[in-house]
Amino acid sequence: MADTDQLAGPPRPDYRAARFLTSASKLSQCPPDAGWEVAFAGRSNAGKSSAINSLTGNSKLAKTSRTPGRTQLINFFELNDSQRLVDLPGYGFAKVPLAVKRAWTRQVENYLAQRRSLRGLVLLMDVRHPMQPFDQQMLAWALEASMPVHILLTKADKLSRGPAGNTLLRVRSQLQPYGELVSVQLFSALKHAGREELVAVLDAWLTGPRVLDEDQAE
């Protein structure tokens, strides 16, 4: 690996300034690979759109960018000219042809492995059904790319405090082998509970130092 230099990162982003930027069906169609990105992934019923909308304070942001036909695409939301949120397609219970699922698998795996501006992955799981095979596959892809992961146990309002807390402890125990690379929290988009904790994680990722290859750092 080439020697690297670091340049100071950008200021904290304003998540309420998020706006839809573009969609991509493959890596070559993504916006220029520069700046800072954080991606959101999860099963189709995990509350991904609701979490993005809660974060940005815009109840229509994730949905308005998803006209029919975009559900199998990577959707980019611009915070400013150097920071972006990325909504990865999640199938879960969606009935799509096997060929489409395979294409999506390659698309997401390539994105996680090759996207240099990607600083972290937010992985959403329904608190009532965490660590499903899809979740574990996404986690494996991210860890193979040495990508930090922050897990949102969504729909925490569906459980009372005791059971929700027990689920958090159980998942945290399962994640212990991964050390500091993976973190987890409870989240409720309905009640906006856990937003501040999520913002703290995103701020750290989106304002970290820019790393340049030796031949770029002149």
Which residue is it, tokens 């082998």?
177
Q: Predicted confidence band at 204 (pLDDT cuts at 50, 70, 90)?
A: very high
Residue 70 DSSP SS3: coil
Cβ(46)–Cβ(87) under 8 Å? no
Q: How far apart are CA 69 and CA 128, in angstroms?
A: 29
Whole-angstrom distance between the N-terminal and C-terminal Cα of the chain? Answer: 18
Which pLDDT belongs to residue 6?
52
Give the model confidence (pLDDT) of 32-65 as tens digits.
999 999 999 988 788 898 999 999 999 989 864 4
Q: Predicted confidence band at 5 (pLDDT cuts at 50, 70, 90)?
A: very low
Write down all domains in the chain, each with its CATH number in brackets. 4-213 (3.40.50.300)
Q: What is the pTM of this model?
A: 0.88
Give the model confidence (pLDDT) of 7-33 as tens digits.
667 889 999 999 999 999 888 999 999
Dmax over CA atoms of the chain, in Å, equals 55
Which pLDDT belongs to residue 62?
84
Angle at 24 between CA 72 and CA 7, to 5 degrees: 130
- Judged on CB neighbours under 10 Å (0-12, 13-18, 19+), 214 is exposed
182-186 and 118-126 beta bridge pairing: unpaired
